[in-house]
């Protein structure tokens, strides 16, 4: 069996957490005179917890989540999913693709408790439909992987493309799962660029096109799909994907914000290798 390639982030030991800020801007009905943006900002922490036979294990915390939309409510049910998945233990392939959620049973149990509490103060058909959608998500392991791999969640870091020997990488193609991207498949082409902003930076460009044969009209609706990923050494420091459809806009960015050392008490909550 082939030895897994080296991981992207140069983790130096248990108890170190690399922190990132993820920002997602979503705009529907862009043809309106004053379209409104939905803006989510999350601070996450990523910890390498060990090797597996064909990849690696990671633990990812959601440290903080903010709704920065112009008309953000004091409390939003949309935060529920971020809260539910604020501590995930995942298995990742050698290429950096999320393959399994290892603490699914814990999250399922937690959701049952959360739902009971939320239903005490939130009522109505739309609320129940939203809660039921989470039930359905947690019952389908592939949907969970697609959800976690979405750029809103963890897909900018665990991108399934650039995760190992960056020096040997030239270009690659991957397909974005349809469930969380306007129900159409997107083929991304990743290319390493020779242009370097700094001496030790490695720069990748990404372009995408709709390829779903069942929905050929989507190809014309997709006006722009571009992104950039910048690595400093083997550490992802900056990434972004921007998509423009006829009536829909999405922009996701990720920025490395630093390294945190955990205290003895904090380590108790972290999965050990």
Mean pLDDT of 19-24: 96
Q: DSSP H helical segments within the chain, as ranges?
A: 79-84, 104-119, 125-138, 141-149, 217-221, 264-267
Residue 63 inside a domain? The answer is yes
Instruction: Compute the 3-state secondary structure of the chain and give helix, strand, coil in percent, each to the nearest 5.
Output: 20, 40, 40
CATH number at residue 197: 2.30.230
Could you give the number of structural domains in the chain?
1
Residue 29 inside a domain? The answer is yes
Torsion over CA: 79, 85, 86, 92 (sign): negative
Residue 268 inside a domain? The answer is no
Residue 271 inside a domain? The answer is no
- Quick one: pLDDT band at residue 234, thresholds 50, 70, 90? confident
Rounded CA-CA distance 190/252 in Å is 17
In this prediction, what percent of the chain has a pLDDT beyond 90? 38
Mean pLDDT of 27-53: 84
The CA–CA distances, whole Å, from 119 to 73, 129, 130 equal 18, 12, 11
Write out the residue range of the structural domain in which residue 144 sits.
Answer: 16-262
Q: Is the pLDDT of residue 154 over 80?
A: yes
- Quick one: pLDDT band at residue 265, thresholds 50, 70, 90? very low
Q: Is the pLDDT of residue 102 over 90?
A: yes
Residue 224 inside a domain? The answer is yes
Contact 9, 18 (CB under 8 A): yes
- pLDDT computed for residue 232 by the predictor: 84
Q: Which of 40, 27, 104 is nearest to 66 (CA)?
A: 40
Residue 85 inside a domain? The answer is yes
Residue 166 inside a domain? The answer is yes
pTM of the model: 0.84
- Quick one: pLDDT band at residue 197, thresholds 50, 70, 90? low
Rounded CA-CA distance 47/19 in Å is 9
Torsion over CA: 121, 122, 123, 129 (sign): negative
Contact 170, 162 (CB under 8 A): no
- Of 46-55, 84-93, 153-162, 180-189, give the range with the top mean pLDDT: 84-93
Q: Which of 89, 39, 82, 41 is nearest to 62 (CA)?
A: 82
């Amino acid at each position: 069996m082939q030895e897994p390639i080296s991981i992207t982030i140069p983790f130096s030991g248990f108890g170190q957490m690399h922190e990132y800020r993820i920002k997602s801007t979503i705009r529907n009905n862009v043809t309106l005179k004053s379209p409104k943006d939905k803006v989510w900002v999350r601070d996450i922490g990523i910890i390498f917890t060990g090797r597996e036979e064909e990849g690696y294990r990671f633990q990812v915390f959601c440290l903080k989540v903010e709704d920065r939309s112009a008309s953000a409510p004091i409390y939003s049910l949309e935060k529920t999913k971020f809260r539910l998945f604020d501590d995930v233990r995942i298995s990742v392939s050698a290429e950096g693709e999320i393959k399994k959620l290892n603490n699914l049973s814990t999250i399922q149990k937690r959701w049952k408790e959360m739902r009971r509490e939320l239903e005490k103060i939130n009522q109505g058909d739309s609320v129940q439909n939203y809660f039921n959608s989470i039930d359905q998500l947690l019952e389908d392991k592939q949907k969970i992987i697609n959800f976690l791999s979405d750029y809103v969640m963890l897909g900018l870091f665990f991108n399934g493309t650039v995760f190992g020997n960056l020096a040997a990488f030239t270009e690659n193609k991957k397909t974005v799962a349809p469930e969380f991207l306007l129900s159409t498949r997107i083929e991304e082409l990743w290319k390493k660029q020779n242009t370097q902003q700094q001496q030790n930076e490695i720069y990748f460009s990404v372009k995408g096109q709709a390829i779903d044969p069942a929905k050929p009209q989507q190809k014309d609706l997709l006006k722009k799909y571009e992104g950039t990923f910048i690595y400093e050494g083997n550490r992802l420091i900056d990434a972004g994907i921007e998509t423009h459809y006829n009536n829909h806009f999405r922009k996701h960015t990720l920025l490395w914000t630093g390294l945190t050392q955990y205290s003895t008490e904090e380590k108790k909550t972290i999965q050990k290798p």
